[in-house]
Structure 1
């Protein structure tokens, strides 16, 4: 019988001395971002492996930093970090969607909706990984 040794998910909060827990959360963020990025790169899209792994890892870090820096177990700082990530990723997605047309530079063509959506999803997966919700990450990938 094989037993998976996964950390408990009863708490979002993590101790800054828990190197194994930190490594696990960041590695999970890299893996879920990498899976989506690998698929997009295989489809020949501009936002591929590097973009998606960076978005996922960055999202996890933006969630982990307030979790580690907060002296009190307050979810408010994490909530604000998640809101900031969502806003920033919205700008990335908009940049992926709107491209200037080569023949007519004053016209914009709308392409890349799926790539923008995968960047948005990758950020959400990175947030979930940073919070330690490994089941949510694996089920959503």
Structure 2
């Protein structure tokens, strides 16, 4: 029984309160990115971004801790935390690619996919202990998503998105196309 308890409460290089604080930071910063996607009613919103960020953070913490594990310190074992970064990047890119859809001549979901990729990077940053990098990246993403999104509409580079489920706002070109089909 002592061996089981010792295995559950394995000693870590980083204290558990710091590890759990990193996970909470990944949840919070991932949520900040996901809120914008949720507000715009995108398929990958709040929960998805939180999970991507948290999972990435866990991978980073496990990578750091595995380097210091006694059972993995033999001469035949080589641990490279950079491989974890590559694996997380590839995994999140796979998820993000699933969000991108080509429909009616338009690409949709690209910003959501990029947000998921960013949430993965934020989670990795937090997991490796780079709080300030993660905080800056999250702040920068919020500026890009909220402020630049509104600027694109103000400059008429993009049509405003419908604000609610019952909204019937359409693009001007959709109205023209619909009118020409009705004739």
TM-score normalised by the shorter chain: which range applies? 0.7 to 0.9
**CA deviation profile, 1:46-65 (whole Å, cap 9, x unmatched):** 10011000000000111111
Which one has the largest radius of gyration? 2
In structure 1, the partner of 2:39 is: 42
Compare relative contact order (CA 8 Å, sep 6+) and give the higher one, 1 or 2: 1
In structure 2, the partner of 1:15 is: 13
SS in 2 for 1:44: coil
TM-score normalized by structure 2? 0.60
TM-score normalized by structure 1? 0.77
Structure with bigger helix share is 2
In structure 2, the partner of 1:127 is: 124
What is the Cα deviation at residue 90 of structure 1? Answer: 1.1
What is the Cα deviation at residue 76 of structure 1? Answer: 5.2
Q: Spell out the pairing of 1:1-141 with structure 2 (5 A cutoff).
A: 15-16=13-14, 18-71=15-68, 77-98=80-101, 110-141=107-138
Matched length: 120
Take 2:21 and 2:38, find their aligned partners in 1: how far apart are those partners?
25
